[in-house]
Chain A
Amino acid sequence: DAGVIQSPRHEVTEMGQEVTLRCKPISGHNSLFWYRQTMMRGLELLIYFNNNVPIDDSGMPEDRFSAKMPNASFSTLKIQPSEPRDSAVYFCASSWDDLNEQFFGPGTRLTVL
């Protein structure tokens, strides 16, 4: 298995633009997590899906952020409109069941100018 796949690896955009981050979890995993990492705040859980259903999105910063998981092999995290303070590395992780080991993707480094 190729592991968790994220795209793009790097994204540079201007304030106000829409940004869409993509994730393909490991086949057979039923839990998917979106994280954000910054130097100031470290790793933060944004949202968690189990069997394609959002379980808790309390970590999502505000209404500008939305996440979807239309099927077991694909998820998106969208920011609209983007702001400079959204600049961070966004990680996607998947696991078999929420209590088991999570496998992280390589991350998407987002820079909002």
Chain B
Amino acid sequence: KNQVEQSPQSLIILEGKNCTLQCNYTVSPFSNLRWYKQDTGRGPVSLTIMTFSENTKSNGRYTATLDADTKQSSLHITASQLSDSASYICVVSALGASKIIFGSGTRLSIRP
């Protein structure tokens, strides 16, 4: 069964600290993995997208990693800012876009 599981469900950290969010998937055949940031009341915004051959991709203070062998991905946020408070959603696509599996997201709160 195609599944995407994210952990933790929620996370609170102090401003300036680093954090890492996890995503495990069982989607097959794998096409790509995306991380989205969703602010409250807004649509998701793409942070990174990685295909099978890529194992790391950065977007500013966001760095995503992918281990296609263990089917795990992580999103590392460096020097967190208050504006990083949002839900982070891991999305895995199987070959053919109709098979898009969403994780339930990690709710990140940054405290001053």
Interface set of A (CB-CB < 8 Å, partner B): 4, 31, 33, 42-45, 48, 50, 55-56, 58-59, 91, 93, 98-107
Q: Mark B70-84, 1 if CB is under 8 A from A, else 0.
A: 000000000000000
CB of A55 within 8 A of CB of B31, answer no
Known: A104-B44, A104-B45. A56 touches B98 (CB 8 A): yes
What are 20 A-B interface contacts by the 8 Å CB criterion?
A: A33-B100, A42-B89, A42-B102, A42-B103, A42-B104, A42-B105, A43-B102, A44-B102, A45-B102, A50-B97, A55-B98, A99-B31, A99-B93, A99-B97, A101-B49, A102-B34, A104-B44, A105-B43, A106-B42, A107-B43
Number of A-B contacts (CB under 8 A): 51
Does B46 lie at the interface of the complex (its beta carbon under 8 Å from any beta carbon of A)?
yes
Interface set of B (CB-CB < 8 Å, partner A): 31-32, 34, 42-46, 49, 89, 91, 93, 96-98, 100, 102-105
A31 to B98 Cα, complex, angstroms: 11
* Across-interface contacts of A98 in B (CB, < 8 A): 96-97
CB of A106 within 8 A of CB of B104, answer no
A44 to chain B, nearest CB (A): 7
Closest 7 CB pairs of A and B: A104-B43, A56-B98, A98-B97, A43-B102, A101-B46, A45-B100, A42-B104
